[in-house]
Structure 1
Amino acid sequence: MRLYQMADAVRFPTMTTSELRDTFLVKGLHQPQNLSMCYVDLDRTIIGMASPINVSVPLANETMLRSEYFLERRELGALNIGGKGQIRVDGQVYPMDSLDCLYIGRGSRDVIFESLDTNAPAAFYLLSYPAHTAWPTTLIRKQEVTPVMLGSVETANRRSICKYIHLEGARSCQLVMGVTHLEKGSVWNTMPAHTHMRRSEVYMYFSLAPEARVFHLMGQPHETRHLFVEDREAVISPGWSIHAGAGSQAYSFCWGMGGENQDYADMDPAPLTTLR
């Protein structure tokens, strides 16, 4: 499990492109038939992906956690961005279609990821944070989530926001998680931009063609930088950084947050006219 150690807002303006990508961009998440994970020292975030095909992939414990099992002191969100699959949690089976999400609570010992069709395997994007108590494991199906429509065709940001794990949905200790889908012809996400010092965020982009890219904006509003992001890559966003972007085509992304505040609306606006 790779360790990511975050740069602060003082070091950030001096970083080269390579340094920015090594620090904030998570590549290589999709490893067929395997589990890949990384640990971020910011909010003790774990980002990963389980990609089973014809054998089960267990949620392995990591020496870095110094725990008896992975979820001894943590909680986990698992979003299926592939074909049909299922997750076994302590013997309970949770069938999952594409874009279904499973919240797995603290204290769950045995977690196993499986695909149901080797020709269209599941791919489970994982996001985990420390948990102070145990909330029940909860399956959130795509069709059960009511999308919130934002943006317009004129501003090329018509999009639907689907909240899965949040205060009014599946409950958690600190994890907030959902998906945004850009409509065809729209490319901008999270614009106007914002920051939120009370929690960090991770964006994982998906549903991109191999040759497509997302131009991800980050940094303090008065001094921004950018990363070019490919399909199934993630960007780590500290509380002081904006997180927005434009794609070479429409796309989707999973947003997930952890920190001291689960209020989705707790944002500090960064109007377009103030960005530099």
Structure 2
Amino acid sequence: MGFGIEGTPETGSAEGRGRGPLDDRIDGSGNPANTLEHETSKTWKTVRIYDCILTAFLPSAFIAMNYVIAVTPQVAKIILNNIAQFQDEAQVGVYLELDPLLVVLIEYFDKKNMLLFLIRTALYVMIATDVMKAVNAFFIVGLMVICSMNDIMQDLNEACFTARVETRMRKIVLYKQMFIWNKYTNQHFCSFSVPPLIFFGIGVIVLTYFGSIRMFGTMDFLIYIRLPVMGVLGTFFVVMLIPHAAKVVEFSTNFIIGARNEVNLSKFERKTWQSVRPLGIQVGDFGHVNKKLKPLALKYIAENTVTLLLTF
């Protein structure tokens, strides 16, 4: 008398309960697949779900940069071309069946279908290429904008007060030009690209930390090693890019305060400095990036990583 999957006589067999997913693994002798094979299948299913979530979050973090590259390439050109002007004045997934498209199309095509394989491979390569292009472009443009603004504001802060009205007026004109350029950059780039980068980017970091701990020994090494690498690179974004972006507000605020406190200013100059506002990197409707964002991001990463580890 044979036994079914649950160990009950005959009632657990395919004839007694209808065919299920595991019945495809029954060999010619009628014996069910062993427990090790079943556990391996469950493990790969878990890995595939995790990889699909991670793969969905990563492109979402840089989708705004893809929009800028594809639809409004002139925005990046205008932003970068003005940096030099201001400084001159002031100084393997498809083979491992981990791609998300397999989950969608597996119901309609055989997994070994050559057409399905070619479509999955082409889309996987296209998406991976666009993501890497967006990542590189975002950090190149972001670092150039942030670092140049910080350098300019530091130079202006270190410049001594002069009694010449022409020089003081040039400083006012330069700051107003920078403010207009900063406003353009925020409206056409930062305000819609920074929020998804922060939300989905931090989500990617949380998922990579979770996967680095929970998936250890479960994934193949070549697949697993990308998780800690992505986690480390994502952490560099938090500890390097965010503080530099926060310094833009800090340096510009200090510069405005110093300019307002100068003696022997004319009435026009004093009113002008009273009317200007600090520069900053806009995060949608949430305001500018400030120094509070870094500890908040690290706290969010730690808390949500622990929550995932305790939940799954």
TM-score range, shorter chain: under 0.3
Higher relative strand content? 1
Q: Which has the higher contact order (CA 8 A, sep 6+)?
A: 2
**With structure 1 as the length reference, what TM-score do the two structures score?**
0.20
> Between Structure 1 and Structure 2, whose CA radius of gyration is higher?
2
TM-score (norm 2): 0.18
**Structure holding more helix per residue:** 2
